[in-house]
Amino acid sequence: ATEMDSEIVNEPVGGKSGTRRALGFDLEAGVEGGMRSISPIDGCVLGHVHRNMPADAAGIAARAVMAFDAWRRVPAPQRGELVRLLGNELRAAKTELGRLVSLEAGKIEQEGLGEVQEMIDICDFAVGLSRQLYGLTIASERPDHKMLETWHPLGPCLVITAFNFPVAVWAWNAALALVCGNSVVWKPSEKTPLTALAVKQLFDKACQAFGAVPGDLVQVANGEREFGETLVADARFALVSATGSTRMGRQVAAAVAPRFARTILELGGNNATIVCKTADLELARRAVVFAAAGTAGQRCTSLRRLFVHESVHDELVASLKAAYRQIRVGDPLDGQTLVGPLIDRAAFERMQHALACAREQGGKVTGGERTAPEMGEHAYYVRPALVEMPSQTAIVREETFAPILYVMKFASLDEAIALNNAVSYGLSSSILTHDLRESERFVSALGSDCGIANVNMGPSGAEIGGAFGGEKDTGGGRESGSDAWKGYMRRMTTAINYGESLPLAQGVRFDV
- Residues found near ligand NAD in the complex (CB under 6 A): 160-165, 187, 189-190, 225, 228-229, 232, 243-245, 248, 251-252, 266-269, 300, 399, 401, 427, 474
If you ran DSSP here, which 8-state letter would residue 503 be given?
P
Nearer to ligand NAD, 181 or 469 (CB): 469
Q: Which member of 111, 118, 266, 479 is catalytic? A: 266
Q: Report, in Å, the least distance between residue 401 CB and ligand NAD.
A: 5
Comparing CB distances to ligand NAD, the nearer of 89 and 190 is 190
* Residue 232 DSSP one-character state: H
Give the integer Cα–Cα distance in Å for 452 and 493: 31
> Facing residues of 11 across strands?
45
CB of 28 to ligand NAD, least distance (A): 18
Q: Which residue lies nearer to ligand NAD by CB, 213 or 267?
A: 267
DSSP 223: B
Distances (CA, A) of 194 to 6, 41, 108, 142: 12, 15, 17, 58
Chain center to CA of 7: 29
Provide the residue type at 134 as one letter.
Y
CB of 448 to ligand NAD, least distance (A): 16
∠ Cα 481 115 104 (to 5°): 140
Q: How many residues can be counted in the chain? A: 512
CB of 112 to ligand NAD, least distance (A): 15
Tell me the three-class secondary structure of 201-220, residue by residue: HHHHHHHHHHCCCCCCCEEE
Which is nearer to ligand NAD, 252 or 289 (by Cβ)? 252
Amino acid identity for residue 110 in this structure: Q
Closer to ligand NAD by CB, 40 or 268: give it.
268
Q: Which amino acid is located at 473 in the chain?
A: D
In whole angstroms, what is the distance from residue 237 CA to residue 373 CA?
A: 46
The phi, psi pair for 147, rounded to 5°, reads -125, 145
| Torsion over CA: 240, 241, 244, 245 (sign) | positive
We find the least distance from the C-beta atom of residue 302 to ligand NAD, in angstroms, to be 8
Q: Which is nearer to ligand NAD, 80 or 459 (CB)?
A: 459
CB of 362 to ligand NAD, least distance (A): 26
**Which amino acid is residue 154, in one-letter code?**
L
Nearer to ligand NAD, 154 or 252 (CB): 252
In angstroms, give the least distance from the CB of 39 to ligand NAD.
16
Kindly tell me which of 147 and 253 has the beta carbon lying closer to ligand NAD.
253
70 CB burial (10 A radius; 0-12, 13-18, 19+):
middle
266 labelled catalytic: yes
d(CA 382, CA 248): 26
Residue nearest to ligand NAD (CB): 244
- Residue 124: count other Cβ atoms within 10 Å of its Cβ: 14
- Write the CA distances from 77 to 74, 81, 309, 490, integer angstroms: 8, 6, 51, 18
The Cα 29–Cα 35 span in angstroms is 10
Q: How many CB atoms lie within 10 A of CB 59?
A: 12
What is the CB-side half-sphere exposure of residue 3 using CA atoms within 13 A?
A: 7
Between 97 and 267, whose beta carbon lies closer to ligand NAD?
A: 267
In the complex, what is the shortest distance from the CB of residue 161 to ligand NAD, in angstroms, rounded to a whole number? 6
* CB-neighbour burial class of residue 25 (10 A; exposed 0-12, middle 13-18, buried 19+): buried
CA distance 82 to 186: 18
CB of 271 to ligand NAD, least distance (A): 9
DSSP assignment string, 339-354: B---SSHHHHHHHHHH
Q: Which of 91, 42, 19, 48 is nearest to 197 (CA)?
A: 48
Give the nearer residue to ligand NAD in terms of CB position, either 248 or 413. 248
CB 291 within 8 A of CB 460: yes
Report in angstroms how near the CB of residue 477 gets to ligand NAD at its nearest: 8
Cite the active site residues.
Answer: 266
